[in-house]
């Protein structure tokens, strides 16, 4: 089944004058990839990773453009236009993303960055955004544990710290005591759960709990290396500032995790870089 508002890997089924149809009409269905989004060379049977959404005429189409967020994710997006029905946000695609007035916690204005959650609207059958992000977050945190590691986005200042959404699913608070330099709205941070409240909200920290430091930070380093193509410009001699900026931990903790991965023969070092083996 083709997922609207998400990436899909689909085979090229057939060509027409204005593009190509991707998918399988007998199973998942077909979707049009307009010619302007073609890679340099494609043939029938080639599999393409495309983003599927609805165009300005509410037709389901595919694109090779990369949106700034997809269904089920949160993001800060710039307001490009407003009208009597709502606001339109720049999400990196040709067609702007619609936020109905009913989904605005306050009136959005042109030029501002709005914090929104992307969802598929069953009524209009298209992807929309809602600024009422908290209503979309999960309260069931029974499967989470102190020490679990997540990626989160800072969205609002609080007198005790900063409110965050972690893993695009959970409401969290990170306290001022974690920072030497305060974050800004939209900053994405690697965080660890340090407390789970009865109301389903999380307290998080930049620093792994003592017993979780080794395993969780090692996992973060390995994932980061994979995202960067197997190499990063950080090693055991990198500055404390560089380490803190990327991994949110002290240089001492970072060196300990690198040493453990090196002993496990999972990484190697060369010319100031760390490489995945």
What's the total number of domains in the chain? Answer: 4
Residue 153 resides in a domain? yes
Segments forming the whole domain that contains residue 194 = 149-206
Based on the domain organization, do 272 and 216 belong to the same domain?
yes
* DSSP character string of 74-103: EEEEEEEEE-SSEEEEE-SSSSPEEEEGGG
**Residue 152 near residue 204, CB atoms below 8 Å:** yes
CATH number of the domain enclosing 103: 2.40.50.140
Residue 68 resides in a domain? no
Residue 144 resides in a domain? no
What residues are paired with 60 via a beta bridge? 54
Residue 235 resides in a domain? yes
Residue 140 resides in a domain? no
Based on the domain organization, do 239 and 201 belong to the same domain?
no
- What are 153's two structure tokens? 């986005």
CATH number of the domain enclosing 262: 1.10.10.10
Could you tell me whether strands 60-63 and 74-82 are parallel, antiparallel, or unpaired per DSSP bridges? unpaired
Residue 56 resides in a domain? yes
Domain C-terminal end among 40, 63, 86 = 63
Residue 250 resides in a domain? yes
Q: pLDDT 10s digit of each residue in the chain, 277 long? A: 889 999 999 999 999 999 999 987 666 688 999 999 998 889 998 999 999 999 888 889 999 999 999 999 999 999 999 999 999 999 999 899 999 999 999 999 999 999 999 999 998 889 999 999 999 999 889 888 888 889 999 999 999 899 999 999 999 999 988 887 788 999 999 999 988 888 889 999 987 765 445 567 788 888 889 888 899 999 988 988 888 778 767 787 788 889 889 999 999 998 889 999 8
Residue 95 resides in a domain? yes
Based on the domain organization, do 217 and 270 belong to the same domain?
yes
Domain C-terminal end among 160, 181, 206 = 206
């Amino acid at each position: 089944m083709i997922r609207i508002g998400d990436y899909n890997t689909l085979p090229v089924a057939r060509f027409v004058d204005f593009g190509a149809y991707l998918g399988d009409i007998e199973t998942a269905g077909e979707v049009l990839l307009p010619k302007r989004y073609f890679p340099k060379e494609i043939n029938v049977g080639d599999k393409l990773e495309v983003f599927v959404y609805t165009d300005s005429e509410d037709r389901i189409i595919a694109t090779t453009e990369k949106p700034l967020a997809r269904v089920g994710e949160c993001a800060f997006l710039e307001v490009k236009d407003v009208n009597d029905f709502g606001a339109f946000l720049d999400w990196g695609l040709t067609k702007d993303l619609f936020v109905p007035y009913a989904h605005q916690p306050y009136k959005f204005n042109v030029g501002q960055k709005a914090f929104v959650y992307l969802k598929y609207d069953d009524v209009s059958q298209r992807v929309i955004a809602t600024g009422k992000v908290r209503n979309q977050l999960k309260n069931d945190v029974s499967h989470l544990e102190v020490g679990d590691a997540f990626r989160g986005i800072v969205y609002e200042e609080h007198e005790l710290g900063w409110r965050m959404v972690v893993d695009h699913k959970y409401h969290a608070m990170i306290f001022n005591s974690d920072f030497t330099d305060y974050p800004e709205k939209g900053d994405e941070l690697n965080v660890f759960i340090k407390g789970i409240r009865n109301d389903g909200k999380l307290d998080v920290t930049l620093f792994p709990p003592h017993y979780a430091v080794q395993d969780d930070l090692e996992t973060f380093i390995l994932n980061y290396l994979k995202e960067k193509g197997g190499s990063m410009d950080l090693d055991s001699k990198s500055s404390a500032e560089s380490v803190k900026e990327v991994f949110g931990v002290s240089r001492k903790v970072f060196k300990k995790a690198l040493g453990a991965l090196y002993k496990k023969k999972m990484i190697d070092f060369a010319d100031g870089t760390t490489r995945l083996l």
